Amino acid sequence: MEPNTVLIDRSGEAPVFTFADSFNIAVHMIDRHLDEGRSDRIAYITEHEEVTYGDLAERVNRCGNALLAAGVPPRERMLMIVKDCPEFVYLYYGAIKAGIVPVPINTLLRAKDYQYMVEDSGCAALIYSPEFADEVEPALAAASRAPAFVTKTEGDGGIKQMIDAGGKELDPYPSDAMADCFWLYSSGSTGRPKGTVHRQRDLLVNSVLYTEPVLNITEDDIMFSAAKLFFAYGLGNSMNFPLNYGACTILSDERPSPEMTFRLIEKYKPTIYYGVPTLYAAQCRALETESPDLSSLRVSVSAGESLPAPIFYRWEEKVGHPPIDGIGSTEGTHIFISNRPGEAKAGTSGKVLPGYKARIVDDDGNDVEPGEVGSLWVQGQSMAAYYWDQPERTSQTMLGDDWLNTGDTYTQDEDGFYVYNGRSDDMIKVGGIWCSPIEIESRLIDHPKVLEAGVVGREDSDGLMKPEAHIILKERGDACDDLAAELLEHCKDGLARYKYPRWFHFVEDLPKTATGKIQRFKLRSGE
């Protein structure tokens, strides 16, 4: 086989992948399109520019060369705190082609989070959009060690200027399908994020196994993801999936909202739309009084958190098809269990996709009886290799032979559809992003009037999960609405937006184990 190529045998029940001994995924995702005649086709559209596949290949090369010229060594980590824009793609694939490991970071975090990731990753480089300077720069100043190379995407000496100066040709760094390729940070139940390390193969395997039975993407599709590039769902939607098939993608750095999504759908006529349940709920409310033209959409996808059945039906009524819900994870690269067009069941995550296997097991790892609740384990070739510098968590989650303990509890109904039953580790998913109750509790306890706090997830009126705080005060008489408002501002000053508690309850005690651990399941059940 030629270097950097892959053979995909689709003759059986599931695709089988054979990778060349030397394999760099950037060649398949970027360079291949030039050989296949797509140089002049549009790869990315923003409200300011259009980028062809020819432009994309050249700028990826220039970016990779610029990073190497700046002294960033192959196999070292490069943190990216970058808004959704073409430069994100140039940086990501330019790094991979040059042998550097990109690590996209959530752009909604605070300085203390970025400081931790800089120190934990031992990164050699950090690239950030100027919009995030107020959080990134204090993080770098406080870090015990800073990366040797730091720059912005824009401005003097920034990546845009470096790309212009970089060479147009770049030989792909010699790698293989099982080599480390990129990281994503996954939130941990203790509040400590985990560097999730993915291989070169993972992007392609998941792109094929998910999209072919669910989306049937062709180069004529136009894709629009309200979910951002910094986490696994958005990364697949806006980069890996369209680049695997030569399709076109709309990018916007705006905060997702019904107004923003409707405007861009009407303007650019995407055929595939990716959202999250929180946004679908807001869009459905807007559709009660607005009538945007959404007729270009042939598929709408939902992921990030479980889609409540009422939102499924409301979107179907207004748009003509339901959102196709599925479950994936940072560790799994993207979705591995999904509904499908024409075979979608409200209130479920769908069925296991060909190429993946799933088990629902008890605490001893034994399969549960049909209809019983258990932990979801999934197997497939897109699963992460390990957590960086966390061997214990790796052994608990990555179970060997590409099996993953998702941390989710599920049942399987009589029709074979998987039904979500919550988390097994108290994590809360808000707007499609995991957050740790411990982190929120710690912020609340920092307030001088708070003695203890317990945080759980609670469904709002749309059936979507939001943080709820149960608080013991040092002085019981301090409890009032004004203090609740003060605690909200206290949280806003130290936590990312999606982590703010939406409800505050002042209580006399918290349910605990004999060893003093908060029993959050009792808070959730109202015991």
From the list 510, 337, 496, 526, the residue with the least C-alpha distance to 430 is 496
CA distance linking residue 442 with residue 183, whole number of Å: 27
From the list 515, 519, 518, the residue with the least C-alpha distance to 445 is 518
Query: In this structure, are residues 485 and 427 in contact, taking their beta carbons and an 8 Å threshold?
Result: no
List, in order, residues 6 or more apart from 485 with CB less than 8 Å away: none
CA distance linking residue 473 with residue 506, whole number of Å: 7
List, in order, residues 6 or more apart from 18 with CB less than 8 Å away: 1, 6, 7, 8, 9
The pTM for the full model equals: 0.87
CATH number of the domain located at residue range(s) 30-248+328-335+385-399 in this protein: 3.40.50.980
Q: In which residue ranges of the chain is CATH 3.30.300.30 found?
A: 436-525
Element (H, E) at 522: helix 520-525
CATH 3.30.300.30 fits 436-525, yes or no: yes
Between CA 380 and CA 386, with CA 383 as vertex, the angle to 5 degrees is 145
pLDDT tens sequence for the chain (527 residues): 999 999 999 999 999 999 999 999 999 999 999 999 999 999 999 999 999 999 999 999 999 999 999 999 999 999 999 999 999 999 999 999 999 999 999 999 999 999 999 999 999 999 999 999 999 999 999 999 999 999 999 988 899 899 988 899 999 999 999 999 999 998 765 567 899 999 999 999 999 999 999 999 999 999 999 999 998 999 999 999 999 999 999 999 999 999 999 999 999 999 999 999 889 989 999 999 999 999 999 999 999 888 889 899 999 999 999 999 999 999 999 999 999 999 999 999 999 999 999 999 998 999 999 888 889 999 999 999 999 999 999 999 999 999 999 988 899 999 999 998 877 778 788 888 878 787 898 889 889 999 889 999 999 989 899 999 999 998 999 999 999 999 999 999 989 889 999 999 999 988 875 545 677 878 887 76
CA distance linking residue 219 with residue 242, whole number of Å: 8
Q: In which residue ranges of the chain is CATH 3.40.50.980 found?
A: 30-248+328-335+385-399
Question: Coil, strand, or helix at residue 326?
Answer: strand
> For residue 12, which phi and psi values (nearest 5 degrees)?
-95, -165
* Ordered DSSP codes for 86-143: HHHHHHHHHHHHTT-EEEE--TT--HHHHHHHHHHHT-SEEEE-GGGHHHHHHHHHH-
From the list 16, 15, 17, 22, the residue with the least C-alpha distance to 1 is 22
DSSP 81: E
Query: In this structure, are residues 15 and 212 in contact, taking their beta carbons and an 8 Å threshold?
Result: yes
